[in-house]
């Protein structure tokens, strides 16, 4: 593994992106150099409050949406739109999607370059619904919703139809409590050991370390190259990004809690059993999300029991 910390040279892109905008800038580089003909972007639909993927054939159609914390059927979408893919393809994906996307594209005769997002867990749409309920925002009033971006670590920006904007930070907020409650994540995340997106060419992560948190507000991305394709892309992207090599250990340390938690599910399967029980108790889930104080109490139980 080759590991770097970096950021997009385009200050606006860096600001709009999740971490340091490296992912978006690398995609720009691929389109600019004619190395790909097709990629994916995501659109938000204010009627359903859901994001959905859309194929694109030029950089100008790409939207830096930041990380999207709603489970999406990327593989189903690509399967349904295989006929619209031209030439070499690149996209962002979660660790549990990368191998299937690679095979799907290969079988259809397309080379692919995969930007893998490092992943602790995804959220079902219920997480967004819980957030709106707890923040007392009516679904019908939401015009735009972006989970990340606007500097780092940023937060959720909800644009209301009356022009008001609500901001919920990504750290120490009601959203953090929902995200880490483990009550809204897909069940498969309890069985997942792939954090660093091993099947992707390049993996991208937030620099969740004290030495970066609070210091670097414009944003930085940890970058891991898994393949020679990834190595070549990083060497070719010096016009778009700034990179500095960092020890592998630093990048691992930034995900230590996730790695330990996921490993703990495998070595102590009772933890999964307890979580699955909690998730199945409808009365319990209702109680936890009835009030921010119950949610905090639930997180204390998780922390005490190492769940």
Nearest to 180 by CA among 127, 113, 253: 127
* Nearer to ligand SF4 (CB atom), residue 13 or residue 203: 203
What is the end-to-end Cα distance of the chain in Å, rounded? 29
Q: Show the binding pattern over residues 104-143: x = contacts ligand SF4 (CB under 6 A), - = does not.
A: ---------------x-xx---------------------
Report in angstroms how near the CB of residue 142 gets to ligand SF4 at its nearest. 24
Q: Is 66 in the site for ligand FAD (CB under 6 A)?
A: yes
Residues 190-229 that bind ligand SF4 (CB under 6 A): 192, 194
Structural element, H or E, at residue 204: strand 202-205
* Nearer to ligand FAD (CB atom), residue 163 or residue 210: 210
* Nearer to ligand SF4 (CB atom), residue 173 or residue 194: 194
Among 5, 17, 104, 295, binds ligand FAD (CB under 6 A): 17
| Pair of tokens at residue 81 | 């739109």
Q: Which stretch binds ligand FAD (CB under 6 A): 13-21, 156-164, 172-180, 272-280?
A: 13-21
Q: Is 122 in the site for ligand FAD (CB under 6 A)?
A: yes
Report in angstroms how near the CB of residue 302 gets to ligand SF4 at its nearest. 16
Q: Is 94 in the site for ligand SF4 (CB under 6 A)?
A: yes
Report in angstroms how near the CB of residue 221 gets to ligand SF4 at its nearest. 18
Residue showing tokens 């003909």: 37
Neighbours of 176 (CB within 10 A): 16
- Burial letters for 248-264: b for 16+ Cβ neighbours within 10 Å, e otherwise? eeebbebbeebbebbee
Report in angstroms how near the CB of residue 222 gets to ligand SF4 at its nearest. 16
Residue showing tokens 């990327």: 74
Residue showing tokens 């009627």: 47
Query: Rounded to the nearest 10 degrees, how much is the dihedral formed by the CA atoms of 128, 260, 223, 35?
Result: -70
CA angle 188, 194, 199 (to 5 degrees): 115
State the Cα–Cα distance between residues 162 and 232, nearest whole angstrom: 47
Residues that bind ligand SF4 (CB under 6 A): 94-96, 119, 121-122, 188-189, 192, 194
Residues that bind ligand FAD (CB under 6 A): 17-24, 41-42, 64-69, 72, 74, 92-94, 117-120, 122, 204-206, 208, 221, 255, 258
């Amino acid at each position: 593994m080759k590991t770097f910390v970096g950021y997009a040279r385009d200050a606006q892109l860096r600001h709009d992106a999740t971490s340091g905008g490296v992912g978006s800038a690398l995609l720009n580089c691929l389109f600019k150099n004619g190395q790909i003909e097709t990629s994916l972007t995501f659109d938000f639909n204010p009627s359903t409050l859901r994001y959905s993927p859309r194929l694109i054939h030029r950089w100008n159609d790409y939207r830096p949406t930041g990380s999207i914390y709603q489970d999406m059927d990327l593989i189903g979408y690509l399967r349904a739109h295989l006929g619209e893919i031209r030439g070499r393809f690149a996209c962002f994906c979660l660790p549990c999607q990368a191998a299937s996307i690679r095979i799907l594209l290969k079988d259809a005769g397309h080379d692919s370059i995969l930007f893998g997002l490092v992943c602790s867990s995804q959220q079902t749409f219920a997480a967004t619904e819980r957030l709106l309920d707890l923040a007392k925002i009516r679904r019908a009033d939401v015009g735009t919703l972006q989970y990340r971006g606007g500097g780092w670590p940023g937060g959720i920006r909800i644009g209301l139809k009356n022009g008001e904007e609500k901001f919920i930070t990504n750290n120490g907020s009601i959203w953090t409590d929902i995200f880490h409650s483990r009550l809204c994540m897909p069940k498969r995340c309890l069985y997942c050991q792939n954090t660093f997106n091993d099947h992707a060419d390049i993996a991208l992560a937030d620099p969740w370390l004290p030495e970066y948190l609070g210091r670097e507000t414009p944003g930085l991305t940890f970058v891991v190259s898994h393949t020679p394709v990834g190595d070549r892309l990083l060497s070719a992207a010096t016009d778009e990004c700034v990179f500095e090599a960092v020890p592998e250990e630093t990048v691992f340390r930034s995900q230590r809690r996730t790695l330990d938690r996921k490993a703990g599910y495998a070595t102590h399967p009772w933890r999964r059993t307890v979580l699955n029980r909690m998730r199945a108790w409808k009365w319990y889930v209702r109680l936890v999300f009835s009030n921010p104080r119950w949610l905090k109490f639930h997180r204390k139980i998780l922390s005490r029991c190492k769940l």
